[in-house]
Amino acid sequence: MADSDGRQVVSINHSTEEDVKLQEVVQAKCEGKELTKEEKQRLRKEKKQHKKNKKDDRGPPEKEKEKEKASVLAPSKPATQSPAHKAAPVPVNASASESPVAAEKPAKSKAEQRAERRARQDTERASKQGKKEGGQQSASSKPKATPNELQPVKRLPEHIQVDDPAALKKLAKKLERQQVPLRSDYGYKVSLFSHLHQYSRKNPPTQQISIPATVIHPSIVRLGLQYSQGIIAGSNARSVALLHAFKQVIQDYSTPPNEELSRDLVNKLSPYISFLSQCRPLSASMGNAIKYIKKEISNIPSQCKEEEAKRRLQECIDSYINEKIILASEAISKYAIEKISDGDVILVYGCSSLVNHILCEAFEKQRKFRVIVVDSRPRLEGREALRRLVKKGIRCTYVLISALSYILPEVSKVFLGAHALLANGYVMSRVGTSQIALVAKAYNVPVLVCCETYKFCERVQTDSFESNELDDPDDLIVTRNGKTHLENWQTVKSLGLLNLVYDVTPPDFVDLVITDLGMIPCTSVPVVLRVKNVDQ
């Protein structure tokens, strides 16, 4: 306990411009209790004023609107307004002017700044009294107005900005506020991927938190550990585990007095999500699931009683799992079986739960085919797929990916799973998939990708560098004939080990995508996204 205190206090002292009040916050954290409402309020106000100071160069209109919002909102409950409030300044502030503003800040002293700010606020509040009616509209139109007035502010997600110290600092502050431990990177990173996190499995994220006194729910802690150690792997498995953990969280949740379930529960989930993304970066499917849950929670009417609300949420989660994952895989099998004819030789890569399910179903429906399982190091997931298929009685062949062009002339179809389908039609899947699709195209073998619609995401990516995941580099160390190669790779300065997890396949290499909505060409993914948005 004392050890973790020291570490936390030390980390606070390292950051430059922290307010005195944060010391109190640290004390509260050390006691392992959640920050009281007053402390949270104070923290928020300090942050607000920090941000207003930074926005000096941005011009009056945004500031006026914000202060107007502050004045409109100040009398009402700060707890309920804070999420909306935090959302408004954050997109405006996003990445941009930190370096120029940070330069001028040390010039003035803290007290002077605060006094100036207060004076400015008072004068503007006085002038805003007349424009009070505009206040309500501007509060809602602010998110729309800001992008128009400012140059478009690009907000990159934190997990691909690891080489930017400012972004790292922001992350550290955010994690502290949420009382989530920050996981440090491990080992030398190859320069092309230095913008991504690289963690080691030997340093689990739970080292720094004390389990009984932590803010994070125990089932979430367990889930995080299962992710980081690789016990739960695979897009569907991770999403289902996440949803089950959230069900447990909702079960154990009790609304604090003077709070609304619909707003407070969403706030409670944020530190959990931060913790999980520290354990292992979130997948697209998990992201969509979280969005769905948050929407459902905020749609709970305020007059709903707690038990009723909790029951409703549990039902929503169950129906989501049932519809989007289980029933979807049934529908996809139905379409996919039409594409499997007798005498086919089907190539699969790695272990995709969906593809395995399709093959087992087809075998049960008396289709005659054989399977070639392609596998690659270091994960060797193909062995698991091989196990499942052989247990069913399907004739299988097992090769490593280096033998791909040798085996392809025998193959009649390639079935691939997907981690996510991007909005420009690119398929994000386990590393090695794009290689298989490329070679299959060269041999004119049709490539079919099977993917449920809940894995479709609005992101666009054309290469595997921009957003990826780096796994533990020590996985590449192998012991053969008693010799462990690469054991001391850290001592060799010019050596870097790269263990990529995902890659993207362009739509030209994919002939068909089988989804629960039917068979679509790879270029029609945005159509499906549009149809889904209309439905919701």
Partner 1 sequence: MEEAELVEYFRAQIREDPDVASAVAAIRSLLKFLKRDQSETILGLRENMTKAIHRLEETDSSVAVSSGGELFLRFISLTSLEHPDLSQCKNVMIERGELFLKKISLSRGKVGKLCHTFIKDGAKILTHSSSRVVLKVLENAAADNKRFTVYVTESQPDSAGKLMAQKLCNLNIPVTVVLDAAVGYIMEKVDLVIVGAEGVVESGGVINKIGTYQMAVCSKAHNKPFYVVAESFKFVRLYPLNQQDVPDRFKYKADILKTVKDLNQEHPMIDYTPPSLITLLFTDLGVLTPSAVSDELIKLYL
Contacts with partner 1: how many residues (CB under 8 A)? 17
In this structure, are strands 479-480 and 427-430 parallel, antiparallel, or unpaired? unpaired
* Shortest spacing between CB 415 and partner 1, in angstroms: 12
Out of 204, 446, 496, 506, name the contact with partner 1 by CB under 8 A. 446
DSSP-assigned letters across all residues of 59-119: -HHHHHHHHHHHHHHTTS-HHHHHHHHHHTHHHHHSSTTHHHHHHHGGGS-HHHHHHHHHH
* Shortest spacing between CB 524 and partner 1, in angstroms: 4
Residue 442 sits in the site that holds partner 1 (CB under 8 A): no
**Phi/psi at 453 (5° precision):** -70, -20
Containing H/E element for 395?
strand 395-400
Angstrom distance (rounded) from CA 534 to CA 63: 35
Residue 384 or 511 having the CB closest to partner 1? 511
Residue 511 sits in the site that holds partner 1 (CB under 8 A): yes
Residue 192 or 531 having the CB closest to partner 1? 531
Residue 448 sits in the site that holds partner 1 (CB under 8 A): yes
Q: Which of residues 335-394 bind partner 1 (CB under 8 A)?
A: 339
* Shortest spacing between CB 511 and partner 1, in angstroms: 6
Out of 172, 232, 266, 519, name the contact with partner 1 by CB under 8 A. 519
With CB under 8 A as the contact rule, which of the stretches 53-61, 101-109, 291-299, 513-521 interacts with partner 1? 513-521
Q: Which of residues 307-346 bind partner 1 (CB under 8 A)?
A: 339
- Name the one residue in this structure whose structure tokens are 């390292």: 14
**Phi/psi at 33 (5° precision):** -90, 165
Containing H/E element for 374?
strand 369-375
Residue 462 sits in the site that holds partner 1 (CB under 8 A): no
Q: Which of residues 401-420 bind partner 1 (CB under 8 A)?
A: 413
With CB under 8 A as the contact rule, which of the stretches 71-79, 257-265, 455-463, 525-533 interacts with partner 1? 525-533
Residue 196 or 528 having the CB closest to partner 1? 528
Residue 61 or 518 having the CB closest to partner 1? 518
Residue 213 per-residue DSSP state? G
* Shortest spacing between CB 444 and partner 1, in angstroms: 8
* Shortest spacing between CB 517 and partner 1, in angstroms: 8
Residue 293 or 348 having the CB closest to partner 1? 348
With CB under 8 A as the contact rule, which of the stretches 74-82, 147-155, 263-271, 518-526 interacts with partner 1? 518-526
Residue 507, preceding peptide bond in cis (omega within 30° of 0): no
Terminal CA-CA length for the chain:
47
Angstrom distance (rounded) from CA 260 to CA 268: 12
DSSP-assigned letters across all residues of 417-484: E-SEE-TTS-EEEETTHHHHHHHHHHTT--EEEE--GGGB-S---SSSSSS--B--GGGG--EETTEE
In this structure, are strands 369-375 and 502-505 parallel, antiparallel, or unpaired? unpaired
Q: Which residues are registered as beta bridge partners of 429? A: 503
Residue 521 sits in the site that holds partner 1 (CB under 8 A): yes
Binding residues (CB under 8 A) for partner 1: these are 339, 413, 444, 446, 448, 508, 511-512, 518-521, 523-524, 527-528, 531
